[in-house]
Amino acid sequence: MDLDSSATITDILDWLTANRSEENIVGMSRYGIETHKAYGISNAQLRPLARQISRNHTRALALWNTGWREARLLAIFTAEKKLLTLEEARRWAHDFDSWEIVDGAASLFVDAGLSDPLIAEFAEDGRTFVRRAAFALIAWSAVHQKKRPDTEIIAYLQLVEAQATDPRNFVKKAVNWALRSVGKRSLACHQPALDLALQLAESADKTARWIGKDAVRELTNEKTLERLKNKRPKS
What percentage of the chain carries pLDDT values higher than 90? 96
**Mean pLDDT of the region 23-28:** 94
Please give the torsion angle defined by the CA atoms of residues 168, 196, 225 and 104, in that order, rounded to the nearest 10 degrees.
30
The neighbour count for residue 45, using CB atoms within 10 Å, is: 16
Q: Is the pLDDT of residue 9 over 70?
A: yes
Q: Is the pLDDT of residue 119 over 70?
A: yes
Render pLDDT for 151-183 as a digit per residue (tens, 0 to 9).
999 999 999 999 999 999 999 999 999 999 999
**Domains of the chain (ranges, CATH numbers):** 1-80 (no CATH), 89-235 (1.25.40)
Q: Distance between CA atoms of 234 and 61, rounded to whole angstroms?
A: 37
Round the average pLDDT of the chain to a whole number and report it. 96
